[in-house]
Structure 1
Amino acid sequence: MNSTELLPEGIVAAADIRIGTGRSRRFVGAEHGAAVSYFYVENQPGEGPGLHWHPYPETWVVLEGTARITVGEDTFVARAGDTATGPAFTPHCFTNVGDGVLKIIGIHASATIIQTFLDED
């Protein structure tokens, strides 16, 4: 039995969308009848995804910590409570530049997650 069987319909348990053994999670909306998807990420200082893009906009909400976010040619610092966005097809990335854990949600304006990393062949 997985943990979703114990929850009311429409609730997705964190354990069921966890990425690997960490605390980060990947929610694919199409698998749950939703029109949006997201990553919930917990990164240690210095960690973050490499430069990548999506064929739809992405919105980040910083829940805890400090992130350096690059969108195209622009780089800025976002702190807990801040929200930032990046347009479709624009390379972007973020890095935890704080002293503690960065907790950030990356909301994908798509029922599926489509992501192309620039360092891939």
Structure 2
Amino acid sequence: MPTDLPLRRALPAPGASVLGRDDLPGQPTSRRFEGARYGNVGVSLFWLETPPGHGPALHEHPYAEVFVVQAGEATFTVQGVQYRVSGGEMVVVPPRCPHRFTNHGPVQLQLIAIHASAQMQQTWLSE
């Protein structure tokens, strides 16, 4: 495991560790974990706290993405179809499927976006 990465603590199992949200690179509203940097873990993720009215632009990935909505409300657009979701729900987006979301609620949207890849690959698309 690379030694230049922040670790809250190493666990006895080789390659195991505990990370806090603030240990991950990114902005206060978006933290990024790429599995390739942590012993070639086979997934990556964004740990997001998105303000009302905000969200990423339309994009796609060559792998599936799973959104776990922890709190708040969002409108997801997946291949042109809109879905309204809230805390306690998940959205599964297949590979190469254009998608985006917007926080449409009055409070911060908390979600984890799991990428089925050790390294993130993202293509931005025009709306």
TM-score over 0.5 for the pair = yes
Residue 8 of structure 1: aligned partner:
10
- Aligned with 1:62 (options 56, 69, 88): 69
Q: Give the ranges of 4+ consecutive aligned residues of structure 1 lying more than 2 Å apart after TM superposition.
A: 12-16
Report how far residue 18 of structure 1 moved.
Answer: 3.4
The CA deviation string for residues 73-104 of structure 1, in whole angstroms up to 9 with x for no partner, is 21101100001111101110000000000001
Report how far residue 19 of structure 1 moved.
Answer: 1.0
1:14 and 1:52 map into 2 onto residues whose CA distance is 24
- Aligned with 2:48 (options 41, 54, 58): 41
- Aligned with 1:103 (options 80, 88, 110): 110
More helix by share: 1
- Aligned with 2:121 (options 100, 114, 117): 114
CA contact (8 A) 1:3 1:15 kept: no
- Report the count of equivalent residues: 117
CA contact (8 A) 2:43 2:119 kept: yes
Alignment RMSD: 1.7
Distance 1:86 1:8, change over 3 A: same
More strand by share: 2
2:18 and 2:48 map into 1 onto residues whose CA distance is 19
Identity, % of aligned positions: 39
- Tell me, what secondary structure is at the counterpart of 1:99? coil
- Tell me, what secondary structure is at the counterpart of 1:30? helix
State the TM-score, normalized to the length of structure 2.
0.85
The CA deviation string for residues 28-72 of structure 1, in whole angstroms up to 9 with x for no partner, is 011112100000110110000000000000000100100100110
2:107 and 2:48 map into 1 onto residues whose CA distance is 13
Gaps of 5+ in 1: none
One-letter code aligned to 2:26:
I
One-letter code aligned to 1:87:
P
2:6 and 2:78 map into 1 onto residues whose CA distance is 37
Distance 1:2 1:117, change over 3 A: closer
